Amino acid sequence: MTLIEPRLSRGLRDLLPEDTLARQHMIDVVRGVYELYGFVPLTTPAVEYLDVLSGSGGQEIQQSIFTVSNPEEEQLGLRFDHTVPLARVIAQYKELPKPFRRYSIGPVWRADKPGPGRFREFVQFDIDSVGVQSELADTEIICGICDSMEALGVSNYQVRFSSRRVLNLLLAYASITPERSVDVFRVIDKLEKIGPKKVRLELTAGYTDESGDRITGLGLTAEQADQIEKFIAIRSPKRADVVKELGGTFGSVPGAAEEIAVLEKMSHNLDVAGYRDDRVIIDLSIARGLAYYNGPVFETILMDAPQFGSVFSGGRYDDLVMRFLGERVPATGASMGVDRLLAALRALDKIRLRKSTAEVLVTTFDSSMKDDYTAMTFELRRAGIRTELYMGTDRAGKQIKYGDRLEIPIVLLYGPDEKAKGVVTIKDMSAGRARAQQLTGSRDRWLQERPGQFEVPRAELVAAVRKLLAEPPAFTERT
């Protein structure tokens, strides 16, 4: 018999229970925030028609789409984000009430070459408001980002926003054609990463980096680069100052006053909602690389883990539905990089890792008492306590060890002795974990001490377990 090697195609990975629980927890928290805002969930298939995904043109785009075959031999592919399927749904279900404010959570696929921290299948959490032109919609997305970060226990973060329209006006002012503007945005967006010198070189003549790689410049003139530098030099920790200076320097550019006013309104809305300069700033170097953004753009940095880059970013994209309807539908939204944020939260020690969902393990070390164990287990489950019944008749040591390895906080011991006395032995596993740190050698003492163990009347089992679960554990747990 030829054995099949267990393996995964490159760029794909498994998430073992511990990782899945951490991810689930994070998603639940953020979902809770946006449901608090009244967003509704939307689920679309992983597979879409290829032309729906890639539009009429876009060969580059098609290269990173995984194609899929079906019996009808249709041209299909896996979605690479949630935004395009959303645009399709908007166009297809015209009866949907507007504004349509929805969130989508699920895997997306990109057939790129995987790199460190980059996979071919990854989960995105998207929130979008469709059908609202008002900057209130953009503001609300930003507020939700802030609330999400705080609900996740991160206080030191910064949401930075800018506006593509303001940037576009600037580029026009610097005599840069609209076709080139996306290239320019891409370079400006690197400011934080590579510094102003390299940005200037990349905007103009290009340069050769340390590894000998040739970076092609955009070929702008020195005057054009000057203009761009003058613009992105406008920075301040206070939103009002940025708006003011922007108005002073560029207010006379045709159409600029109107767009600067949008930034001002957003800033005002944020103030009213209670999100001040310490959390949300205007940063004119935020451009985002995506071509379809046409209004406010924003991103989120964890100040204690900036190396992870933006963990939650987005912007306004009023023209995406055009592809399907031929008419403009205003839309704005953001996408949370679930895996990136999770990695950052782990680095910051903000995620409690759990190996099991069970709070209680019922051990079964006397085979004549199987019915007692089953009854006990379901009694706890009906009381809403997450309970695992040990399967098998291994000796007590193994069963307790199993609970220990899965970090189940409570283990129940119930044998003939307990039954005769009408009690259950409850074992608070955290106590033993703390004790084991101090105790060296001496197995006898370890056996005698039985840390964290106590008996309660069998009838009071549920109440006692509830009480113990409500108490703070004896050892320090991450929240």
116 near RNA, rule: CB under 7 A: yes
Q: Which amino acid is at 409?
A: P
Figure out which of the listed residues 72, 213, 327, 371 binds RNA, where binding follows CB under 7 A. 213
Figure out which of the listed residues 34, 122, 157, 292 binds RNA, where binding follows CB under 7 A. 292
Q: Which residues in the 126-155 window bind RNA by CB under 7 A?
A: none
Figure out which of the listed residues 99, 106, 114, 131 binds RNA, where binding follows CB under 7 A. 114
For residue 90, CA distances in Å to 130, 294, 328, 334 come to: 8, 19, 11, 17
Task: Give the separation between CA 61 and CA 54, rounded to whole angstroms.
Answer: 6
337 near RNA, rule: CB under 7 A: no
CB of 283 to RNA, least distance (A): 18
Comparison of 15 and 439: residue with beta carbon closer to RNA: 439
Residue 445 DSSP one-character state:
H
What token pair was written down for 108?
């997306």
Comparison of 187 and 262: residue with beta carbon closer to RNA: 187
Task: Give the separation between CA 201 and CA 208, rounded to whole angstroms.
Answer: 10
Q: In what order do the strands lie in the sheet with 76-78?
A: 47-49, 76-78, 67-68
3-class SS letters over 17-41:
HHHHHHHHHHHHHHHHHHHHCCCEE
Figure out which of the listed residues 439, 456, 462, 469 binds RNA, where binding follows CB under 7 A. 439
Comparison of 94 and 443: residue with beta carbon closer to RNA: 443
Q: Which stretch binds RNA (CB under 7 A): 151-159, 206-214, 250-258, 265-273?
A: 206-214
Alpha helices in 119-275 (DSSP H): 135-151, 164-173, 178-188, 191-203, 222-232, 239-250, 256-273
110 near RNA, rule: CB under 7 A: yes
Angle in degrees, 0-180, between the axes of helices 164-173 and 222-232, rounded to the nearest 10: 150
Long-range contacts, 99-102 (Cβ 8 Å, 24+): 99/129, 99/130, 99/131, 99/132, 99/137, 100/129, 100/130, 100/131, 101/37, 101/38, 101/39, 101/40, 101/127, 101/128, 101/129, 101/130, 102/39, 102/40, 102/41, 102/42, 102/127, 102/128, 102/130
Figure out which of the listed residues 19, 81, 121, 192 binds RNA, where binding follows CB under 7 A. 81
Task: Give the separation between CA 360 and CA 309, rounded to whole angstroms.
Answer: 39
CB of 268 to RNA, least distance (A): 29
Q: Are strands 214-216 and 312-316 parallel, antiparallel or unpaired?
A: unpaired
Task: Give the separation between CA 217 and CA 200, rounded to whole angstroms.
Answer: 9
404 near RNA, rule: CB under 7 A: yes
Comparison of 249 and 453: residue with beta carbon closer to RNA: 453
Q: Which stretch binds RNA (CB under 7 A): 27-35, 36-44, 170-178, 420-428?
A: 420-428
353 near RNA, rule: CB under 7 A: no
442 near RNA, rule: CB under 7 A: yes
322 near RNA, rule: CB under 7 A: no
195 near RNA, rule: CB under 7 A: no
Please tell me the total number of residues recorded for the chain in this structure. Answer: 479
10 near RNA, rule: CB under 7 A: yes
DSSP per residue, 398-430: HHHHHHHHTT-SEEEE--HHHHHHTEEEEEEHH
Residue given tokens 């990782």 in the structure block: 19
Figure out which of the listed residues 254, 443, 472, 478 binds RNA, where binding follows CB under 7 A. 443
CB of 147 to RNA, least distance (A): 25
Task: Give the separation between CA 93 and CA 91, rounded to whole angstroms.
Answer: 6
Residue given tokens 């098998």 in the structure block: 392
The residue count for binding RNA (CB under 7 A) is 66
Task: Give the separation between CA 34 and CA 11, rounded to whole angstroms.
Answer: 30
CB of 101 to RNA, least distance (A): 21
Comparison of 34 and 185: residue with beta carbon closer to RNA: 185
Q: In what order do the strands lie in the sheet with 312-316?
A: 40-41, 100-109, 121-130, 331-337, 312-316, 296-302, 157-163, 280-282
CB of 38 to RNA, least distance (A): 27
365 near RNA, rule: CB under 7 A: yes
Figure out which of the listed residues 40, 49, 113, 355 binds RNA, where binding follows CB under 7 A. 113
Figure out which of the listed residues 98, 238, 405, 467 binds RNA, where binding follows CB under 7 A. 405
Comparison of 186 and 244: residue with beta carbon closer to RNA: 186
Asked whether 184 and 228 are in contact (CB, 8 A), the reply is yes
430 near RNA, rule: CB under 7 A: yes
Q: Which stretch binds RNA (CB under 7 A): 144-152, 190-198, 228-236, 296-304?
A: 190-198
Comparison of 174 and 199: residue with beta carbon closer to RNA: 199
Q: Which stretch binds RNA (CB under 7 A): 32-40, 322-330, 375-383, 447-455?
A: 447-455
- The residues of the shown chain that bind RNA, judged by CB under 7 A, are 10-11, 54, 58, 61, 64-65, 80-81, 110, 112-116, 118, 186, 190, 193-194, 209-213, 215, 288-292, 365-366, 395-398, 400-401, 404-405, 413, 415-418, 425, 427-433, 436, 439-443, 446-447, 450-453
